[in-house]
Amino acid sequence: MSEFAVELRNVVKRFITPEGHEMVAVDHVNLQIRHGEFFSLLGPSGCGKTTSLRMIAGFELPSEGEVLIDGQPQGKKPPYMRPVNTVFQNYALFQHMTVFENVAFGLEMEKVPKEEIRRRVGEALEMVKLSGMERRRPRQLSGGQQQRVALARALVKRPKVLLLDEPLGALDLKLRKEMQLELKALQKEVGITFIFVTHDQEEALTMSDRIAVMNQGKVLQIGSPMEIYERPNNRFVADFIGETNFVEGEVRSMEGEWAQIYIPAWGRELSGRAGPGLQVGQKAWLSIRPEKIRLLDEPRVNESIQGRILDVSYVGADTRLFLEVSGVRLKVWEQNRLSSLEATHFYRAGDAVYLALFRENVLILRRE
Amino acid sequence: MNPYQRSWFVRLATILVYFFLYAPIVILILFAFNASRTNITFQGFIPYGERLVMEGSLVRASPCGPFHWFCELAKNREVTHAARNTLSIAFTSTLISTIIGTMAALALQRYEFRLKTFSQISLYIPIVIPEIVMGIGILVLFTQLFSLLNSLLGLSGDARLGLGLGTVTASHIAFSIPFVTLVVQARLHGFDKSYEEAAMDLGANEWVTFWRVTFPMILPGVLSGALLAFTLSLDDFVITFFTTGPGATTLPIYVYGLLRRIITPQVNALSALWVSVVFLAVLAIQRLENRQV
Amino acid sequence: MLRTLRENRPLQGFLLILPTLVFMVGLLIIPLMLTLVVSFGRRSPDGGVIFTFSLENYLRLLGYERNCPSGEAVCFNPLYLQILWRSITLAFNTTVLVIVLAYPLAYYIARAPARWRTALLFMVLVPMWTNFVIRVYAWMMILRKEGVINLALGWVAHQLGIPFQPLEMLYTPGAVLVGMVYEFLPFMILPIYTSLEKIDLSMYEAAADLGANPWRTFLRVTLPLSMPGVVAGTILVFVPVMGTFVVSDLLGGRQVVLVGNLIQRQFLDARDAPFGSAASLVLMVMTLIVTYFYTRKFGFGEEIIAA
């Protein structure tokens, strides 16, 4: 067994658009996906995540670079020669076959004996909790059930890697949440490497061991959900995953992992964790998550900044405030730890507040 | 497009089938310019000349040049008469069948009424039975009806009722209606009832709603239905064959009668004209359909 | 009056369908019923119809013969059964050949880039809408003794120095088959194309992903999913081939007599409307049976509209 389940080496994919322009869908992507890992490709639509997945499956061939599965270069191998299987976005269930025939199809292609096919299809359907549905047609199933058939159909082949192309996109929110947990449990159970494509950041955070964030054909950051959320490499990642406040500034000094940034709008320097590639004198972003800004009623700490509340909305778990701080707008989320009905004070639009930006919560990111 | 989906076999078969479809048509058109009157071998194009010069069965020169046979065609009384019949039948039957078929499509798509299933089945019958069966049926009906009427009304000689333009036109209307209905129904099916409901909600009655909302939206469907009816009528041979009478010869009937006796370049000239008309008609239909999307 | 109409939607619907019903009943249902009535009648000496109830015309189609050469009262004459059988086999052969030719072309068009598809379809529609009789004529020019094929063969033989005897191709069963295939090929291409075009690309990808090579993908996925198109096309080809008399008349001469020719001659030459009516109804019933069982097995839908 080689070190990685799937490896992409400097993979480029170019398309010619119908208008005749060349478009780079995947731009020098390098990925190393470990055995047994739940790996997500996350990004907005058109970022190249689906194209990357399709190149692993063999539906597209890279214009440059190489795709390796279990250490084997795939070259121009057609999909039916690759040890991976796909769960399609629209499930792509064969409408002219029953559930059983759909799941058995891949095994028949391997010329597995009839008896074994029956056994393995039975097991696969049991695994996705669809026992007893063998004779139904895909059309007679609900969206969630079709999704499970697609899963069983791919998993019954015992692929080295399972590729999932936004498989939960067509389900409603509640079902999607259920399926997220189920999929994750299933992956732990079967121990197969999953590569999961999604544009839903929450989905990726919930399910993945590691996430690669993509935009405009490039991989911007690879890391665990916590790393991606807490230590985004650049503004795009910080913005795409969760919500973030950005304030323009200039790097004044750096010391180890810390940096000082000067914010012209506020006429003061603040301290924060330095992002990658930062240089003194460079323009930069001060970035801080809305839930990590502390609100104070009075200027207690030296570093506290005065602002004014523009708007308040109560959303249950927390209260979301929109502040204006010397011409800069900031979002702040205060968790409602006490019942809001019993709280001793309320935030009101127009009130003055003080806020503290602790340097552990501040990230200073390069401005490109 | 995936690389593994178009094999050389499919490409080769495609080229051969297109060749099979077009070679006869190309030969047909080429021979419309043949200098030989017997039209057996191709003897070259006809040069221009002041007067018609014949040499045996060869045309040496003609005022119309290579288009000699087209000119002959225009001078042929029988052809021009048949062309006039064909067009008048096609125009009349298209107009009437388009109106009636559109009404039927509206009824079937938007209304519930008695006899709906019966109407739907009767509209499907002409599509699933051979044309000759319908043609024979209409022939039997008209001969029995006319002989009854003639004897009842005591008509004789030229006053006797018989097959002619009227019977052909009526039959063309009958077989065009199902096709117009299908096309317009498909178009109606494609757009949401809510547009009409919105119009009525804003105070338009059925009549106004139809003309201001429904009709503009289904117009492309109605037009392609009309074009279909027109082409079907122009093209029809079998039903016309059984329902036509003296003086109501159409072009296909005329050509058929001719072919059983002789082969002349005039028929090729007519065919060439026909292919060009079809070419333009199909182009128009495709344009219309593309605009629908 | 106007108010009742405005509030009565079923009445509105009925009024809209009324003209259609008039035409369909008047020129389809009544004629078919009249054909049935006439088919039980007898031919009068002047070519008219004597209305009785006799099954003689149907028995005659089945081989029951009155004018026996041997002088017996009744004898077996298989002529009409042979004609029926010939029509069925010809329709069957034509349909099979047409499917074989139409499928790759339809497949090619369905998989072609979108901007080429319109043009490729256009090239199918032009021959399809060119007049039926004219298309038969084209084959007369090609197949006759001095026709294009014989000319070409003769030229080749001349170049090679081989003696050449023109082939007799016109007025043979083969000519009728070629003519039928040519006439009805487009009516198969369009429905198959429509059903192939509807197949989502992900179906092919899923099959390949599950290990099916292109050939097995075709057999297990493409072909079954395009069956509605093949079925619709079969009906659009089989039914008219059964009833056509023009192709056999012009390309088969007196050699190839089909049901269509039989019916036509009964009405125009023999002036035996009752026997012609019976033959016409038998033809209709045969095609309806084929259509019914065929569609019940596979089902067909909008593909038939496509053509």
Residues of A in contact with B3 (CB under 8 A): 61
Mean per-residue pLDDT of chain C: 87
Distance from the A209 Cα atom to the nearest Cα atom in chain C, whole angstroms: 25
Chain B CB contacts of A60 under 8 Å are 2
Number of B/C CB contacts below 8 angstroms equals 280
Length of chain C: 307
Superfamily of domain B77-261: MetI-like (1.10.3720.10)
Nearest CA in chain B to A78: B4
Question: Please, what is the average pLDDT of chain A?
Answer: 90
At position C69, the amino acid (one-letter code) is P
pLDDT greater at residue B203 or residue A46:
A46
Q: Terminal CA-to-CA distance of chain A, rounded, Å?
A: 41
> What residues of chain A, 68 to 127, have a C-beta less than 8 Å from chain B?
78
Across the interface, whether the CB atoms of B274 and C137 are under 8 A apart is answered no
- Pick A80's closest partner by Cβ from C114, C115, C213: C213
User: Min CA distance, C70 vs chain B (Å)?
Assistant: 34
User: Scanning every residue of chain B, which has its alpha carbon at the shortest distance from the alpha carbon of A79?
Assistant: B4
Three-state DSSP class for residue A241: coil
Of C212, C224, C225, which is closest to A80 when you measure between CB atoms?
C212
Subunits adjacent to chain A (3 or more Cβ pairs under 8 Å): B, C
Q: Please report which confidence band the pLDDT of residue B221 belongs to, taking 50, 70 and 90 as the band edges.
A: confident
**With contact defined as beta carbons under 8 Å apart, do A349 and A312 qualify?**
yes
Q: Which residues of chain B neighbour A78 with C-beta distances below 8 Å?
A: 4
Place of tokens 């990808």: C205
Q: Give the count of beta carbons closer than 10 Å to the beta carbon of residue B263.
A: 18
Query: Is B137's CB within 8 Å of C32's CB?
Result: yes
Q: CB–CB of C247/C264 below 8 Å?
A: no
DSSP A204-225: HHHH-SEEEEEETTEEEEEE-H
Dist CA B266 CA B34 (whole Å) = 10
Chain A residues touching residue C299 (CB < 8 angstroms)? none
Q: Is the pLDDT assigned to residue A93 strictly greater than 70?
A: yes
- pLDDT level of residue C169 (50, 70, 90 thresholds): confident
Q: Where are the domains of chain C?
A: 1-39, 81-306
Comparing A172 with A343, which gets the higher pLDDT?
A: A172
Task: Spell out the residues 6+ positions from residue B224 whose beta carbon is closer than 8 angstroms to its own.
Answer: B183, B285, B288, B289, B292
What are the extents of the domains in chain B?
8-69, 77-261
Task: State both tokens at A106.
Answer: 């891949």
- Residue written as tokens 């127009």? A350
Query: For residue B135, how many C-alpha atoms fall within 13 Å in the half-sphere facing its CB?
Result: 24
Query: Regarding predicted confidence, which is higher, A281 or B36?
Result: A281
Q: What residues of B are in contact with residue A16 (Cβ under 8 Å)?
A: none
Q: For C206-260, write each residue's pLDDT tens digit.
A: 999 999 988 899 899 999 999 988 988 998 899 889 988 999 988 988 778 999 9
Using an 8 Å CB-CB cutoff, list chain C residues near A94. 203, 206-207, 221, 225
Q: Which amino acid is located at C105 in the chain?
A: L
Q: 3-class SS at C45? A: coil
Which residue did the predictor score with more confidence, C305 or C115?
Answer: C115
Residue of C2, C27, C201 for testing the chain B interface, max B β-carbons within 10 Å: C27
Residue type, B2: N
Supply the pLDDT for residue B200: 73
Does A338 or B113 have the greater pLDDT score? Answer: B113
For residue B130, pLDDT over 80 is answered with yes
Q: Which of A18, A92, A96 sits opposite C224 (nearest CB)?
A: A96
Candidate from C27, C132, C260 with C-beta closest to B132: C260
Tell me which of B4, B6, B7 to substitute to probe the interface with A (most A C-beta atoms closer than 10 Å): B4
| Chain C residues within an 8 Å CB radius of A157 | 210-211
CA B188 – CA B218 distance, rounded (Å): 6
Residue showing tokens 């094929």: C149
Collect all residues of chain A within an 8 Å Cβ-Cβ radius of residue B2: 59-60
Contact flag B28-C6 (C-beta cutoff 8 Å): no
In a mutational test of the A interface, the residue from C203, C205, C209, C225 whose CB has the highest number of chain A CBs within 10 Å is: C209
- C115 contacts in A (CB within 8 Å)? 18
Least confident of A17-21, A156-160, A202-206: A17-21
Comparing C271 with B5, which gets the higher pLDDT? C271
Asked if residues B250 and B266 have their Cβ atoms less than 8 Å apart, the reply is no
How far does B111 lie from chain A, in Å, by closest CA? 29
C49, B111: Cβ pair inside 8 Å?
A: no
| CATH level 3 topology of A4-235 | Rossmann fold (3.40.50)
Q: Indicate whether C94 pLDDT > 70.
A: yes
Q: What confidence tens digit (pLDDT) does each residue in A298-335 have?
A: 777 666 788 999 999 888 888 899 999 988 999 999 88
Categorize the per-residue pLDDT at A239 as very low, low, confident or very high, splitting at 50, 70 and 90. Answer: very high
The pLDDT of residue A341: 64
For residue B72, what pLDDT is reported? 86
Q: CA-nearest residue of chain A to B4? A: A78
pLDDT digits (tens, 9 = 90+) for C35-59: 999 999 998 888 788 888 888 899 9
Residue A186: other Cβ atoms inside 10 A: 18
Rounded CA-CA distance B49/B66 in Å is 10
Is the pLDDT at C297 greater than 80, yes or no? no
Best of C201, C210, C216, C227 to disrupt the A interface by mutation (most A CBs within 10 Å)? C210
Rounded Cα–Cα distance for residues A199 and A46 (Å): 10
Percent of chain C with pLDDT strictly greater than 90: 41
**Residues 6+ away with beta carbon under 8 Å from A263:** A247, A248, A249, A269, A270, A286, A328
Residues in chain B: 293
At residue B4, the pLDDT reads: 40
Closest residue in B to C114 (Cα) is B1
The CATH number given to C81-306 is 1.10.3720.10
**Residues from B in contact with A at Cβ < 8 Å:** 2-4
* Nearest-neighbour CA in chain A from C224: distance (Å): 7
Asked if C208 and A94 come within 8 Å (Cβ–Cβ), the reply is: no
How many other C-beta atoms can be found within 10 angstroms of the C-beta atom of residue A270?
A: 22
Which chains contact B through at least 3 pairs of Cβ atoms less than 8 Å apart? Answer: A, C
Test C113 with B1 for CB contact under 8 angstroms: yes
Instruction: Domain ranges for chain A, please list them.
Output: 4-235, 244-366
Residues A206-218: tens digit of each pLDDT: 999 999 999 999 9
What SS3 class is residue A365? strand
Residue A274, judged by CB atoms within 10 A of its CB (0-12, 13-18, 19+), counts as: buried
Q: Map tokens 């009101």 to a residue.
A: A348
Which of B131, B132, B274, B278 to substitute to test the interface with C, most C CBs within 10 Å? B132
E strand spans, chain A: 4-16, 22-34, 38-42, 64-69, 72-73, 84-87, 161-165, 193-198, 210-215, 218-223, 245-255, 258-263, 268-274, 283-288, 294-296, 305-314, 318-325, 328-335, 352-356, 363-366
CA A190 vs. chain centroid, Å, equals 22
Which residues on chain A are in Cβ contact (under 8 Å) with B4? 78
3 state DSSP class of A68: strand
Q: Mean pLDDT across the stretch C20-37?
A: 95
Cβ contact, residue pair C207, A105, below 8 Å: yes
Q: List C-alpha distances in Å: B111 to A100, A237, B124, C17, C152.
A: 42, 56, 19, 10, 61
CA nearest to A86 within chain C: C209
Nearest residue in chain A measured CA to CA from C203: A92
Which CATH superfamily, name and number, covers A244-366?
Nucleic acid-binding proteins (2.40.50.140)
Q: Are B282 and C125 within 8 A, CB to CB?
A: yes
Angstrom distance (rounded) from CA A288 to CA A356: 11
The Cα of B114 is separated from the nearest Cα of chain A by a number of Å equal to: 32
SS (H, E, C) chain B: CCCCCCCHHHHHHHHHHHHHHHHHHHHHHHHHHCCECCCCCCCCCCCECCCCEEECCEEEEECCHHHHHHHHHHHCHHHHHHHHHHHHHHHHHHHHHHHHHHHHHHHHHHCCCCCHHHHHHHHHHHHHCCHHHHHHHHHHHHHHHHHHHHHHHCCCHHHCCCCCHHHHHHHHHHHHHHHHHHHHHHHHHHCCCHHHHHHHHCCCCHHHHHHHHHHHHHHHHHHHHHHHHHHHHHHCCHHHHHHCCCCCCCHHHHHHHHHCCCCCHHHHHHHHHHHHHHHHHHHHHHHHHHHHC
Q: Is the pLDDT of residue B293 over 60?
A: no
Note the pLDDT of residue A20.
78
- In sequence order, the 6+-apart residues with CB closer than 8 A to the CB of C13 are B107, B110, B111, B112, B113, B116
Question: What token pair was written down for B141?
Answer: 């009906």
Q: With a cut of 80, say whether residue C303 has pLDDT above it.
A: no
**Is residue B66 a contact partner of residue B45, using CB atoms and an 8 Å limit?**
yes
pTM for the structure as a whole: 0.81
